[in-house]
């Protein structure tokens, strides 16, 4: 990405109190201290990137700012005034909106209904459908998503749903927009559209908190970087000090070392072999070409490609969730009969799904139930 970030001018920040301040926030869960006296400030028209390793406390901090969780200690100030955010409605009332990393949408509703859910224009208690459509089209255009607002959400891809989530946050006309891993499922083109949108919002004075593990995105967008490590403030970087190695050093607490390729282990025999696998498609879709590959013991095999290239569909077919038009799977020299996921699990094959919330976890069940579900005997 070669385009330079757009920085807010001095008129947006000088001689102004921070738009949002978090002071000494603490939050604990059973056995885990997620936040330990964390403080941040967000200026008007600023893009503040919050980075850190998994478990550093980034998402917990954002959920507190968005009213999804209450801190155990500390306070949040908006325009210099202490506030209590008991719910997302409270945060929206103070014009703070969160774009969730895990999609917070209703599959049984249309795109337009999701965009304005809870904020539907109405007259005498009746929803004004034409106004819903007009407003939805406006914000879908802003994020570059060319879908009919009447389309059922369940017909959209994960990437398209992510764009709906972004459009939904924009429709609140927030002064502070929190983006939690917004590009995790987006294509390069969709990501560039989002970057242009961030630049436009920054110029208009909207404050943006941007969370991402992709440090290249942080380099492209951030005016300032706040680094969290083990639930604590680890340091800040501003302007020209925002560099890849500087961020990594603060994230891990030591100087980053280059990867030593000589440390790679030798791989073993072929454990998994997929032969001429042809993923099933809808009747009106173009047939995909067959795919063959092998994976050896001790080897990490990576599948790369744009959104829509068929990576997830291929792995679902290998595991037995999605039917395949052709092909075979061989594990440790034994060909699977392709009767479904039971046979795959019995043969030692496991799948971590793309959408953990929708297809990977039973979110209403306990941690114990979820961790043992695939290991239970089948009878």
In CATH terms, the fold of domain 270-375 is Rossmann fold (3.40.50)
pLDDT tops 70 at residue 262: no
The pLDDT tens digits of the residues spanning 125-145 come to 787 888 888 888 988 988 888
Mean pLDDT check: name the lowest of 29-43, 83-97, 152-166: 152-166
* pLDDT single digits (tens) 270-280: 999 999 988 87
For residue 66, name the pLDDT band (cuts at 50, 70, 90): very high
Q: Is the pLDDT of residue 6 over 70?
A: no
Answer CATH for 10-252 from 3.30.465.10, 3.40.50.410, 1.25.40.320, 3.40.50.300: 3.40.50.300
pLDDT at 145: 85
Q: Which residue has the higher pLDDT, 373 or 11?
A: 373
Q: pLDDT-based confidence at 261, cuts 50/70/90?
A: low
Q: What is the mean pLDDT of residues 307-313?
A: 79
Inform me whether the pLDDT recorded for 12 exceeds 50.
no
CA distance 204 to 44: 10
- Structure pTM? 0.72
Given a contact cutoff of 8 angstroms between Cβ atoms, the answer to whether 18 and 191 are in contact is no
Task: Note whether 10-252 and 270-375 share their fold.
Answer: yes
What are the strands, taking DSSP E only, across the chain?
20-29, 32-42, 47-51, 73-78, 81-83, 96-99, 122-123, 126-127, 176-180, 207-211, 224-229, 232-238, 270-279, 291-296, 324-331, 334-335
CA distance 137 to 328: 45
pLDDT digits (tens, 9 = 90+) for 317-350: 899 888 888 888 999 988 988 777 888 888 889 9
């Amino acid at each position: 990405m070669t385009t330079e970030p757009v920085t807010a001018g001095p008129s947006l920040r000088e001689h102004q109190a921070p738009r949002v301040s978090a002071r000494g926030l603490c939050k604990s869960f059973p056995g885990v201290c997620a936040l330990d006296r964390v403080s941040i400030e967000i200026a008007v028209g600023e893009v503040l990137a919050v980075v850190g390793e998994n478990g550093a406390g980034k998402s917990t901090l954002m959920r507190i700012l968005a009213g999804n969780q209450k801190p155990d200690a500390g306070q949040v100030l908006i325009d210099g005034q202490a506030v209590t955010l008991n719910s997302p409605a409270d945060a929206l009332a103070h014009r703070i909106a969160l774009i969730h990393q895990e999609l917070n949408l209703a599959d049984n509703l249309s795109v337009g209904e999701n965009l304005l859910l809870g904020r539907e224009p109405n007259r005498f208690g009746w929803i004004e459908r034409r106004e819903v459509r007009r407003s939805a089209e406006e914000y879908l255009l802003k994020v570059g998503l060319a879908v009919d607002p009447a389309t059922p959400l369940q017909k959209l891809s994960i990437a398209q749903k992510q764009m709906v989530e972004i459009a939904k946050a924009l429709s609140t006309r927030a002064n502070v927009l929190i983006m939690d891993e917004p590009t995790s499922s987006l294509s390069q083109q969709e990501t560039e559209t989002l970057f242009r949108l961030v630049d436009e919002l920054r110029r208009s004075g909207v404050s943006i908190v941007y969370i991402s593990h992709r440090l290249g995105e942080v380099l492209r967008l951030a005016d300032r970087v706040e680094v969290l490590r083990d639930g604590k403030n680890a340091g800040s970087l501003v302007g020209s000090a925002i560099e890849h190695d500087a961020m990594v050093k603060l994230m891990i607490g030591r100087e980053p070392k280059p990867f030593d390729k000589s440390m790679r282990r030798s791989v073993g025999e072929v454990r998994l072999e997929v032969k001429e696998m042809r993923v099933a498609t809808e009747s009106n879709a173009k047939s995909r070409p067959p795919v063959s590959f092998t994976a050896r013991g001790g080897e990490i095999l990576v599948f790369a490609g744009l959104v829509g290239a068929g990576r997830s569909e291929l792995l679902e077919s290998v595991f037995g969730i999605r039917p395949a038009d052709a092909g075979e799977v061989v594990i440790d020299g034994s060909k699977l009969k392709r009767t479904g996921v039971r046979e795959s699990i019995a043969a030692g094959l496991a799948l971590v799904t793309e959408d953990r919330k929708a297809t990977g976890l039973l979110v209403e069940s306990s941690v114990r139930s979820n961790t043992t579900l695939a290991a239970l005997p089948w009878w």
